[in-house]
Amino acid sequence: MLNDVKEVLVSEENLDKKVTELADKITKDFAGKNLVVIGVLKGANVFVADLIRKINIPIALDFMAISSYGSSTESSGVVKILKDLDEDIEGRHVLVVEDIIDTGLTLSYLTENLKSRGAKSIDICTLLDKPDRRKAHIDVKYKGFDIPDEFVVGYGIDFNEKYRNLPFVGILKREAYE
């Protein structure tokens, strides 16, 4: 598995520092508010698990499972809801947690969908952002790292369901997916 990684882009140590920084901001900004954190499965699973343990205010945690990449490195542009929320978000503050924003198509679809449910506010927290590839405009309130236009894996992020369990974020070698 490690042999398929060309370069470590974000180390375990730097991930930990950044997650602490983001959680501290979220703790300050949402103190006293009714906050629902929504992890976007499967990719955000590892990030959201680390993030919420560093958020120091009461929150509710919920998940949506969404998929647009399947077994490809290119977004299909067709976003499917595989699992919907359990919580009613009407009148509540929502923080959507993503592992990566690439074209922005997943989040553009998701935020429109969540807006229609009457949330009081909707903010986005993403660990990684690949701005060069954006097709839809997304306002990101909490961002970990801008990354170059390379296909990345690890820390929850997959290629064809593989590599999610790497503890760091790495660039996948072209031979591993071509």
Ligand X SMILES: O=P(O)(O)OC[C@H]1O[C@H](OP(=O)(O)OP(=O)(O)O)[C@H](O)[C@@H]1O
| Partner touching 26 among Mg ion, ligand X, ligand HPA, none, CB below 5 to 8 Å by kind | none
List the x/- string, 81-110, binding to ligand X by CB under 6 A.
Answer: -----------------xxxxxxxxx----
Give the whole-angstrom CA distance, residue 99 versus residue 129. Answer: 9
Give the whole-angstrom CA distance, residue 177 versus residue 4. Answer: 9
Give the whole-angstrom CA distance, residue 21 versus residue 70. Answer: 32
The pair phi, psi for residue 145, each rounded to 5°, is -140, 140
| Residue 158 binds ligand X (CB under 6 A) | yes
**Cα atoms in the 13 Å half-sphere on the side-chain side of 144:** 28
Catalytic residue among 50, 99, 102, 123: 102
| Residue 69 binds Mg ion (CB under 5 A) | yes
Active site residue 84: no
| Residue 40 binds ligand X (CB under 6 A) | yes
Q: Taking the mean position of all CA atoms in its chain, how far away is CA 54?
A: 16
| Partner touching 168 among ligand HPA, ligand X, Mg ion, none, CB below 5 to 8 Å by kind | none
Contact 91, 65 (CB under 8 A): no
Indicate which single residue of 27, 34, 68, 113 sits in contact with ligand X (rule: CB under 6 A). 68
Characterize the bridge pairing of strands 152-153 and 142-146: unpaired
Beta carbon of residue 145, minimum distance to ligand X (angstroms, whole number)? 15
Nearer to Mg ion, 27 or 75 (CB): 75
Query: So which residues are the catalytic ones?
Result: 102
Binding-site ranges for ligand X (CB under 6 A): 40-43, 67-69, 75, 98-106, 158
